[in-house]
A and B are shown apart, each in its own frame.
Chain A
Amino acid sequence: MKKKKLTIAVTGLNNTDNPGPGVPVIRGLRESEYFDVRVIGLAYENLEPGIYMKDLVDKTYQIPYPSSGSEAFLDRIKYIHSKENLDVIIPNFDAELYSFIKAEKELADLGVRTFLPTLEQFDERAKSNLPKFGEKYGIKVPFSKTITSYADINNLRNNFDYPLLVKGKFYDAYLAYNPEQVINHFNKITAKWGVPVIIQEFIRGTEVNVVALGDGKGNTIAAVPMRKQYITDKGKAWGGITIGDENLVALTKKLIAETKWRGGMELEIIKNVNNEYYLIEINPRIPAWVYLAVGAGQNIPEALVRLAIGENVQPYKSYDIGKMFIRYSYDMIGDISQFEKLSMTGEL
């Protein structure tokens, strides 16, 4: 079969100890049976490792942070499109999704396809809306409250037992054992992501995650559950294994069917000692461990691109149980000349 040639731009090349999904997404695309891809990296920072991975990324462009405004952001994407003729963009950061969702139509008019949740889906599953979300779809969620100031911290003892989780709007979650620690985490999080900060009941149990893909019509195209086996001190999975928990897959399918979820997603779930499943968070994008799903037989990045370009995609029926990922770090050798080129021209 002749593979279809596509140019695909990918963000999230920060394959660091808090990895973005860009590199694993690209690996999935590189292994595609359907596509022969030219990969354009979109980088926010000049030391994102993916920029320097020449086997994976054909060319990288720097892009401005979404916080600098959609105008500057879109201008840059349009410039890149004029050079590279992009077919598809796969954004991989929570913080940039809003801007991409808003720009979806404008990008489509230029011929650049995305496959993202709708703004309603995106807002509905926001961390601060999780209690409502749980209620609406009949899923257990930990009790949580949104706070915006120090004053709220003192009142937390009315609703919470310590320890509790302190979470940022987009990223970051810290466990706090007392109000002093909450203040500490509150400061850290607001400096980075602003208010509100979400305080969440801490549920004891086993952390399990599902990476999934919805086609926007209610069908689950792919769903692979994983249990974290090794967790870094930043709370990131550094090793994990696919598991055959049918309840998890059923829960995922129910969610996708009812929300008509469009695009990639990650469900973070805690299974407590009574075998109850608590939905902790829904990430509205492909997670960094997606390559495990590829390895287990469900090439989610590939399926997402096929949906983006309007192909009819049949749901994956199975995945291999007991596939493991073991993350490792690896030192590449770069040169100041690469850094110079990226810094001075914004391209490499």
Chain B
Amino acid sequence: MKIKSNIAVSDNGFVFDPNTGDSYNLNNTAAEILQMLKSGKEETEIIKVFAKKYDVDETTFEQNFYDFLGMLNHYNLVEENRG
């Protein structure tokens, strides 16, 4: 999943979508995921990194992760031409 390139993410987790003028806030984990996605990391890789770094098992994280990606999609923050 690719985040639209012009989406701005601040260090504090503030997201501004210049296409629509909407803004969002993220908690720390969400901000970290978004930065990883922006830098082109694969989804499976992100899951591995998180399970290692945080006190969470892979299954739980995977579930939360895809729920979060669903929200990004809902808010139209991802590229549509995804295969």
Contact = CB atoms under 8 A, between A and B. Distances in A.
Interface of A: 336, 339-340, 343-345
Best-surrounded residue of B13, B14, B16, B25 (most CB of chain A within 10 A): B14
A339 B25 CA distance: 11
B29 interface: no
Interface in B12-65: 12-14, 16, 23, 25
A343 B25 contact: yes
Contacts of B16: 336, 340
Contacts of A336: 16, 23
B73 interface: no
A339 B10 CA distance: 13
A340 B25 CA distance: 9
Contacts of B23: 336, 339-340, 343
A339 B21 CA distance: 12
Interface of B: 10, 12-14, 16, 23, 25
Contacts of A344: 10, 12-14, 25
Contacts of B13: 344
Chief secondary structure at chain A's binding surface: helix
6 contacts: A336-B23, A340-B14, A340-B23, A343-B25, A344-B10, A344-B14
Nearest to A339: B23
Given A336-B16, A340-B23, A345-B12, 5 more contacts: A336-B23, A344-B10, A344-B12, A344-B14, A344-B25
Contacts of B14: 340, 343-344
A336 B15 CA distance: 10
Contacts of B12: 340, 344-345
A96 B13 CA distance: 31
Contacts of A339: 23
Contacts of A340: 10, 12, 14, 16, 23
Nearest to B12: A344
Contacts of B10: 340, 344
A340 B14 CA distance: 6
A344 B10 CA distance: 10
A254 B23 CA distance: 53
B10 to A, nearest CB: 6
Nearest to A343: B25
A108 to B, nearest CB: 36
A332 B5 CA distance: 30
Nearest to A340: B14
Contacts of A343: 14, 23, 25
A344 B11 CA distance: 11
A343 B13 CA distance: 10
A2 to B, nearest CB: 42
B22 to A, nearest CB: 11
Nearest to B24: A343
A169 to B, nearest CB: 33
Nearest to B15: A340
Nearest to B13: A344
A160 B10 CA distance: 59
A11 B6 CA distance: 37
A336 B10 CA distance: 12
A222 to B, nearest CB: 43
A244 to B, nearest CB: 50
A73 B14 CA distance: 25
Nearest to A345: B12
B31 to A, nearest CB: 11
Nearest to A336: B16
Best-surrounded residue of A339, A343, A345 (most CB of chain B within 10 A): A343
